Amino acid sequence: MSPLWPLPALLWAQWRSFVNLRAGESRAGRLLPAALALVWYALWTSLALGALVLLSKPARAELAVLLPWGLMSVFLYWQLAPVLAASLGASLDFRKLRIYPVPESRLFAAEVLLRLATGPEMALVLTGAALGLLRNPAVPAWAPLTALPLYVLFNLLAAAGMRGLLERAFTYRWVREALALALVLIAAAPQVLVLRGPSGYLPLLRLHGPSIYWPWVSFGRLAVGWFGPQDWVLAALWSTAAYLFGRWQFGRSLRFEPAAARPQAPVRPRRSMGGERRLRLPSAPLPDPLGAILEKELRSLARSPRFRLVFLMGFSFGFLIWAPLARRPGGFSENYPVLVSVYALLLLAEVIFWNMFGFDRAAASLWFLAPVSFRYVLAGKNLAGAVLVTAEVTVVLAVCALLGVPLHPLKILEAYGVALTLCLYLLAAGNLSSLRFPRPVNPEHSWSRASAGRLQILLLLLYPALGAPVGLAYLARWALDSEAVFFALLAGAAAGGVVFYRASLAGAVRLADRRKEFFVRSLSEGGGPLLTQ
């Protein structure tokens, strides 16, 4: 047996998984990800070139200050990338390999190598950095050639451990949801920087460089050849720590039993009585089957992490992302609640409009088995959408009030009016798109795309068209400077929305009848509840 066994087989399986992930998609479906990948790697290549140019300049003292920041960013990226790769299914689940006669040390070696495959961007950037340092006359050639490969190994070992740790933590739903929201909020960090202004932070970074005990400082100083003996000691200690951490966490993950991690105590009711009442309230005045469908939808969506994430994003991420506009003079601050409400509506759109049967997956066939007209099914789902949009706008306005954003009564009316009018148009189009482009969605997956690739492209055209009637009302207000004209046109847009909605509902019912088989088959593929994964 080869001394490398079974590394080639594992790397081959990883490679085939990666290739097959894309091979199953249609040509059109592959085009968009390929274009995005091209842009993505072009961006990282330009960063690598930037590192090359920057690190070629012969100022060793400056390099020793600058490089650790770069190496720290590399470290952070490398630790998070495996988690995202695992959620995309492009990483082998080593727990599935426990039935085979492979020693744990070999599996760990394979895992460490695979971490390289999940952070190729960082390998690219570090190659650029190494080439820059090699071109730098002030840096001895051996320094980057020794320190940077060691830093890569340190990152791979730590990433192997981090992946194990996060993977186990992610078996707890609340951890998954909290992290997803945290990542989303981090994405809005540049907006906060814009608010404070870069001058507020950069001096702090310059004054308080990272402590010399951090690994990126030791490896950075080694890489520029400007080091003391303590840097070698610290680099060795950090590498050993990374190995021990990686091995420990990998072993724990390999033997991890999700069943043992679940609480064994008697199951408590999922919600308080208040929560139960809130979920039943909107459907209480409605007769069945409409009431039953509405209640089912509200319960299902409230328990879906994916829905909860976009709902939370509406009044958290939405606030941060539009925050710079709120500070601008010239009326933006008073339009801020409306802007955030509309943005929140668009965030919800993918879950509650465009693919509204996605979470039902194979169970959607029940709608055709039950003795209920499909018109009621769509109406029930649409009512749930409208209730949730109203709830979202209410929360947005409440947060606005808490943060001291000016809330004129007319602006409150405008926020509800605009959001619900747009909601009518989106529901009308969503009923048709949900039947034409059905796609199963796992409600547990906070990140995966909910609607089909073709629909994503179509939406680029649809959004402006569907928003046009409301846009017309705003245009009139801007041109005539009249609130009365604005609200009159908004009411007209709403009336047009009702007509459009009724027409699309009838069309969707006919479409459901015609495309029943395709619809059920599409929702039963891949993510259906019948499958074991």
Partner 1 sequence: MDPALDPAQPAPAIRVRGLRKLYGDKPAVDRLDLDVPRGCFFGFLGPNGAGKTTTIRMLTGLAQPTAGSIQLLGLSLPEQALQIKCRIGVVPEESLLFERLTGGEFLRFVGRMYGLDRSTAAARAGELLEFFQLDGAPRKLIADYSKGMRKRLMMAAALIHRPELFLMDEPFEGVDAVGARMMKDLLLDQVRQGATIFLTSHVLEVVERLCDRVAILNQGRLVMEAAVRDLRNGAETLEDVFVRLVGAARSPDKLDWLG
Judged by the rule CB under 8 A, the positions of this chain that interact with partner 1 are 1, 5-6, 8-9, 12-13, 16-18, 20-21, 23-24, 89-90, 92-93, 96-103, 255, 257, 259-260, 262-265, 525-526, 530-533
For the bound state, the minimum distance from the C-beta of residue 102 to partner 1, rounded and expressed in Å, comes to 6
Q: Which two tokens stand for residue 216?
A: 């990126």
Pick the closer one to partner 1 by CB: 86 or 185.
86
For the bound state, the minimum distance from the C-beta of residue 33 to partner 1, rounded and expressed in Å, comes to 15
Distance, CA of 191 to CA of 195 (rounded, Å): 6
For the bound state, the minimum distance from the C-beta of residue 2 to partner 1, rounded and expressed in Å, comes to 9
Distance, CA of 43 to CA of 35 (rounded, Å): 12
Tell me the torsion sign for CA atoms 296, 345, 357, 533.
negative
Peptide bond before 198: cis, by omega within 30 degrees of 0? no
Distance, CA of 508 to CA of 381 (rounded, Å): 13
For the bound state, the minimum distance from the C-beta of residue 114 to partner 1, rounded and expressed in Å, comes to 13
Distance, CA of 7 to CA of 185 (rounded, Å): 39
Pick the closer one to partner 1 by CB: 92 or 224.
92
Distance, CA of 72 to CA of 53 (rounded, Å): 19
Helix, strand, coil share of the chain (percent; to 5): 75, 0, 25
For the bound state, the minimum distance from the C-beta of residue 370 to partner 1, rounded and expressed in Å, comes to 20
Q: Phi first, then psi: give them for residue 99, nearest 5 degrees.
A: -80, -10
Pick the closer one to partner 1 by CB: 107 or 455.
107
What residues have CB less than 8 Å from 108, skipping those under 6 apart?
160, 246, 247, 250, 251
For the bound state, the minimum distance from the C-beta of residue 129 to partner 1, rounded and expressed in Å, comes to 33
What residues have CB less than 8 Å from 355, skipping those under 6 apart?
433, 434, 437, 438, 439, 441, 450, 451, 452, 455
**Is 304 within 8 Å of 289 (Cβ atoms)?**
no
For the bound state, the minimum distance from the C-beta of residue 259 to partner 1, rounded and expressed in Å, comes to 6
Pick the closer one to partner 1 by CB: 4 or 506.
4
Residue for token pair 């009564």? 409
Pick the closer one to partner 1 by CB: 105 or 482.
105
123 burial level (CB within 10 Å; 0-12, 13-18, 19+): middle
For the bound state, the minimum distance from the C-beta of residue 471 to partner 1, rounded and expressed in Å, comes to 42
For the bound state, the minimum distance from the C-beta of residue 4 to partner 1, rounded and expressed in Å, comes to 11
Pick the closer one to partner 1 by CB: 18 or 245.
18
**Is 360 within 8 Å of 439 (Cβ atoms)?**
no
Pick the closer one to partner 1 by CB: 204 or 265.
265
3-state class (DSSP) for residue 103:
coil
Q: Which two tokens stand for residue 171?
A: 């078996």
Helices (H) and strands (E) in the chain, counts: 23, 0
For the bound state, the minimum distance from the C-beta of residue 19 to partner 1, rounded and expressed in Å, comes to 9
Pick the closer one to partner 1 by CB: 99 or 204.
99
Pick the closer one to partner 1 by CB: 96 or 196.
96
Q: Which two tokens stand for residue 203?
A: 């001096």
Q: Which two tokens stand for residue 424?
A: 């009518």
Pick the closer one to partner 1 by CB: 95 or 135.
95
